[in-house]
Amino acid sequence: MKKVLLTAAIAVFGFTSMNAQNVSFGAKAGMNVATIGGDFGNYYDYYEGDATDNVKSRVGFHVGGLAEIMISEKFAIQPEILYSSQGFKTEYSYGSEREESNVNLSYLNLPVMAKFFPIENLSVEAGPQVGFLLSANEDYEYTDSDFPEDNVSGDRDVKDSVKGVDFSMNIGVGYKLDMGVFFQARYCFGLSEVDDTGYYDDESYYDNYSFSRKNRVFQLSVGYMF
C-alpha cells in the first residue's frame, strides 16, 4: 500500500508539472461523522449477555486544500491535504457500573481521488488515503451507583495506544457550481487497525474473541476552486 501511494504521488506531481494549465487549486472544509468498525464488543460475552459495549459515532471536522488535475473532459485526479478530527465514543454498562469514553483522533490525511464526470459538474470519486496521526485524546467517566467512592472522570493522552499511520479507501460524489463553489459527500473506509497496544495479541488467551478496530468516517464538505 505504501509503494502504491508513493507511486501515485510521484505520478500526480509529475503530471502536474507537465500540465500546469490543466490544474485548478481549491480549499474545502466540512463535517465528519466518525466511528470505528469491526469486532469490538464480543470480549464482553463473558458477562453472559448482561453487559453492553456500544461503539457510537462522534462529530468532528476537516479542513484543507486540494488540486484538481484534468486528464480529459471526463476524468481528473485530485490530491488533497486535510486536517481531520475523527475518533469514536463508547458506552459500557454492567450492573451498577457505567463507563463512557470519547476518543478524539486527529490526523493529517493525504487522499488521492480519481474523478469521473458522467455529466458536466457532477463527479463520482474513489481513491486511496494515507493518514498520519497528530494527536489522540480520551475523555472518560466511570460511575458505580453501588460504590460511588469509585467514581472517576478525566482526560488522558492515548497517542501511544494508536497506530501512527492509517490507510483508507475513499468513495464519494461531488458537484461543482459554475461560480467555483463545490459540494462533496465521501465515505472513508479504514483498511488498517487503529489499536497499537498489543493488548489482544495473545491468541492463546483471547482465542474466543476477535478484535478489529478500523476508522470509519462519513464526510460532508463545501469548498471553492480558485
pLDDT of residue 33: 98
| Per-residue model confidence as pLDDT tens digits over 57-105 | 999 999 999 999 999 999 999 999 999 999 999 888 888 888 899 999 9
Q: Is the model's pLDDT at 51 over the cut of 80? A: no
In contact, 223 and 179? CB cutoff 8 Å: no
| Per-residue model confidence as pLDDT tens digits over 1-46 | 555 455 555 554 555 454 556 999 999 999 999 999 876 545 444 4
For the segment(s) 2-225, the CATH number from 2.60.40.10, 3.90.550.10, 3.40.50.2300, 2.40.160.20 is 2.40.160.20
Query: Cell numbers 467517566 label which residue?
Result: 141
Residue that wins the pLDDT comparison between 200 and 110: 110
pLDDT of residue 68: 97
Listed range (35-39, 121-125, 180-184) with the worst mean pLDDT: 35-39
Q: What is the pTM of this model?
A: 0.81
Taking residues 44-51, what's their average pLDDT?
46
Strands 214-225 and 23-37, by their bridges, are antiparallel
Alpha-carbon 8 to chain mean position: 20
Task: Enter the C-alpha cell of residue 132.
Answer: 498520519
pLDDT of residue 10: 52
- The segment with the largest mean pLDDT, out of 150-164, 179-193, 204-218, is 179-193
Domain positions in the chain: 2-225
